[in-house]
Amino acid sequence: EVQLLESGGGLVQPGGSLRLSCAASGFTFSSYAMGWVRQAPGKGLEWVSTMSASSLNSHYADSVKGRFTISRDNSKHTVYLQMNSLGVDDTAVYHCAKNDWNDFYFDYWGQGILITVSS
C-alpha cells in the first residue's frame, strides 16, 4: 500500500523559512518523480513543484520559484520542500504526491500538512 506522510508544518512568521518532509513507502521510491501541491484555506489545488526520480530535473510554479527548493533522498525514501521568504499567501495545506511512471499526473497523495504564515 502506498503511503505518503508529510511532516514539518506549523506556524511561521512572514519572511521565515520552513522545511517540509514527506516519507514514502509501499513503492519503489527511486523510480518515480515526486511533487508538492498546495491548497490555501477554502481554495483549490495549486501545483508547487515536481522533482524527477533521479533528481536531475525539477520544476516550480512561478509563485514559488526562487524561494522554494525541492529535493529528495532516495536512500531515505523522502522528498523535501525547503521554503524560504514565506509570505501570507503561502498559507496552505501542502500535499506530497507521487507521480505516475511518466511523471505526468499524481496517482497517490498524502493527507497534507498545514503551513500558516502569520505574525
Partner 1 sequence: EIVMTQSPATLSVSPGERATLSCRASQSVSSNLAWYQQKPGQAPRLLIYDASTRATGIPARFSGSGSGAEFTLTISSLQSEDFAVYYCQQYNNWPRTFGQGTKVEIK
Contact 116, 13 (CB under 8 A): no
Stretch that binds partner 1, among 13-21, 23-31, 58-66, 75-83 (CB under 8 A): 58-66
- Interface pick for partner 1 out of 29, 68, 80, 106 (rule CB under 8 A): 106
28, containing H or E segment: none
Spell out, one character per residue from 62 to 91, where the chain touches partner 1: x when CB under 8 A holds, - when not.
Answer: x-----------------------------
Binding residue count for partner 1, defined by CB under 8 A: 22
Sign of CA dihedral 31, 54, 106, 1: positive
Q: Return the closest-CA partner of residue 60 out of 70, 49, 51.
A: 49
Q: Which one of residues 40, 54, 87, 104 is an interface residue with partner 1 (CB under 8 A)? A: 104
Q: How far is the CB of 104 from partner 1 (least distance, A)?
A: 4
Q: Which of 51, 23, 42 lies closest to 91 in space, CA to CA?
A: 42
Which conformational region is residue 63 in: left (phi greater than 0), alpha (psi within -120 to 50 degrees), or beta? alpha
Q: Is 100 in the site for partner 1 (CB under 8 A)?
A: yes
Q: Which is nearer to partner 1, 16 or 91 (CB)?
A: 91
Interface contacts to partner 1, rule CB under 8 A: 35, 37, 44-47, 50, 59-62, 95, 100, 104-112
